[in-house]
Structure 1
Amino acid sequence: EKFDYKDNFERISYNGPAINGASPKILIPAFPGTNCEFDSAKAARDAGFNPEIIVIKNLTADAITDSINYFANAAKDAQAIFLPGGFSGGDEPDGSAKFILAFLRNPKVTEAVENLLYKNDGLMCGICNGFQALLKSGLLPYGHIIETDENSATLTFNTIGRHQSKIVRTRVCSNKSPWLAETKVGDVYNVAISHGEGRFFCDEAQIRKLAANGQIATQYVDLKGTPTSDILFNPNNSAFAIEGITSPDGRIFGKMGHSERYDQGLYKNVAGNYEINMFKAAAKYFA
């Protein structure tokens, strides 16, 4: 279903906390199975961020504790957190993002994330595996790390029953998020996808609520720019063709498509606009 959004949603300011000319710092935790941390760091650096990849170690209990403490301390001086794609924990047991979810729900990490977002006016984003973690933690669509249940929005297995990897078209439905400040409602962007569990699913009442609040950020669309369930364009058969959503205030953004993988000179054989400039927009928030 196509929602005729208008660019009139209440937003948080696009002028975030100034950091005296320094590059804003973005933390990129790399979990066992993460495989997009270097692409993410390059995209963030090129856009004006100072990225720090933090390897989350789990060989021993002490290593996990050290990783938790390091991340929590690093978050005190950071402006943003980015959860990259991959297959954390091998997507086992019983589905994706379990390891990231356990990490986020550690009390020290939860406090650090909440403080960065709401005391320090920070931003957060997750792509693919990171989007899965944001949903399963409650950060999306609610904006806080909470206990979710079987009725909560989630990402589940593609209806085709296997991994999908291709270029798709996505349409901006709402640009209330600072991550989408460089876009206009109705803009269509090409993006690479690569996942086995990317089908957004929740009941229709929740989807209507997300739509009314402008939290449906991007949808899969066909060649006419119309949201669709056609597997040629909506590779996982996401409900209402949803590719990305935001938190109620827009400061947290999650999506399936790998916008961080695009660079000049790539995908020349597939025509389209790939430059959604989400990292650039987020960096400008702190200018």
Structure 2
Amino acid sequence: MSANFGVIVFPGSNCDHDAYHALAHVMNANTKFLWHKDTDLSDIDFLLVPGGFSYGDYLRSGAIARFSPIMQSVVDFVEQGRPVLGICNGFQILLEAGLLPGAMLHNEELRFVCKQTHLRCETSDTLFTRNIEEGEVLQVPVAHGEGNYFTDEDQLKALQDNDQVVFRYSDADGNVTEEANFNGSVDNIAGICNKNRNVLGMMPHPERAVEKLIGSDDGKKIFESVLNELAVA
């Protein structure tokens, strides 16, 4: 039996259809939209929290969406060990919900940035990165104004010690440099997972990098990893 994917839609989401296209049309996965007022996730095997501007990013990014009815079900879903991927605003929502540690600040230069970036995979030890070699570089676009990941020194050390840093901003050759860290994120962090390794939050958009026609299909490796893991689960 094939896995069922759910893409959550909040008021203001604008990457939900990108995510649906990547999963349903490119990866041929059974995929459906989940409205933010839905609470029954019993038939879902994998949740994707997409990017956009949920609730207009009022207060701060993800702060209101965190209180949508579906989010308690998402917390329960995570506690059951089931996988969740939060992309861009989805990452911000997972942070606000306490499902990942840390917070997002405005980009260092206070500008919205939309461009292709390079990410170095820091660990293959997640269900999201089994198909990606440690140190491999992916080309994936970003589009955010509040992607400056921050956490304190103790939590940063814990992330490093627990191998929870999944992606770092790098140059095309995999060098983690200050120049590559366009938004000012601590330790060049572009994506992290939780301690149980079933939740991944990342600011870059792999769902926008699944077809070479639009610049890169490197994002497919993340979705392929997930599909392979779910197939053998």
Calculate the TM-score normalised by the size of structure 1: 0.75
Unaligned runs of 5+ in 2: none
Question: Which structure has the greater CA radius of gyration?
Answer: 1
For residue 279 of structure 1, what is the amino acid of its counterpart? F
Aligned to 1:162: 111
1:233-255 CA-partner distances (Å, limit 9, x unpaired): 22201110000000112110010
Q: Select the residue among 151, 156, 159 that pairs with 1:207.
A: 156
For residue 203 of structure 2, what is the amino acid of its counterpart? M
Aligned to 2:17: 38
Aligned to 1:258: 205
Aligned to 2:144: 195
Q: Select the residue among 30, 40, 46 that pairs with 1:50.
A: 30
Task: Establish whether residue 277 from structure 1 lines up as the match of residue 224 from structure 2.
Answer: no
The alignment covers a number of residue pairs equal to 230
Residue 48 of structure 1: how far off its partner (Å)? 4.2
For residue 20 of structure 2, what is the amino acid of its counterpart? A
For residue 266 of structure 1, what is the amino acid of its counterpart? L
For residue 27 of structure 2, what is the amino acid of its counterpart? A
Residue 208 of structure 1: how far off its partner (Å)? 1.2
Aligned to 2:184: 237
Q: Select the residue among 28, 39, 51 that pairs with 1:72.
A: 39
Q: Which has the higher contact order (CA 8 A, sep 6+)?
A: 1
Contact 2:137/2:172 (CA < 8 Å) preserved in 1?
no
Residue 55 of structure 1: how far off its partner (Å)? 3.0
Q: Write out aligned runs for 1:1-287 (5 A).
A: 21=1, 23-45=2-24, 46-56=26-36, 67=37, 71-73=38-40, 75-93=41-59, 95-103=60-68, 106=69, 109-110=71-72, 112-119=73-80, 121-141=81-101, 153-230=102-179, 233-268=180-215, 274-287=218-231
The CA distance in 1 between the partners of 2:162 and 2:123, in whole Å, is 9
Q: Secondary structure at the match of 2:93?
A: helix
Contact 1:229/1:238 (CA < 8 Å) preserved in 2?
no
The CA distance in 2 between the partners of 1:244 and 1:85, in whole Å, is 14
The CA distance in 2 between the partners of 1:36 and 1:109, in whole Å, is 18
Identity between Structure 1 and Structure 2 (%): 30
Unaligned runs of 5+ in 1: 1-20, 57-66, 142-152
The CA distance in 2 between the partners of 1:181 and 1:286, in whole Å, is 12
For residue 29 of structure 2, what is the amino acid of its counterpart? F
Contact 1:183/1:276 (CA < 8 Å) preserved in 2?
no
Contact 1:24/1:48 (CA < 8 Å) preserved in 2?
no
Residue 32 of structure 1: how far off its partner (Å)? 1.1
The CA distance in 2 between the partners of 1:48 and 1:204, in whole Å, is 42
1:149-191 CA-partner distances (Å, limit 9, x unpaired): xxxx111100111100111111001122101111010000011
1:202-221 CA-partner distances (Å, limit 9, x unpaired): 11221111011010000001
The CA distance in 2 between the partners of 1:102 and 1:115, in whole Å, is 14
Residue 102 of structure 1: how far off its partner (Å)? 1.1
Residue 26 of structure 1: how far off its partner (Å)? 1.5
Contact 1:48/1:283 (CA < 8 Å) preserved in 2?
no
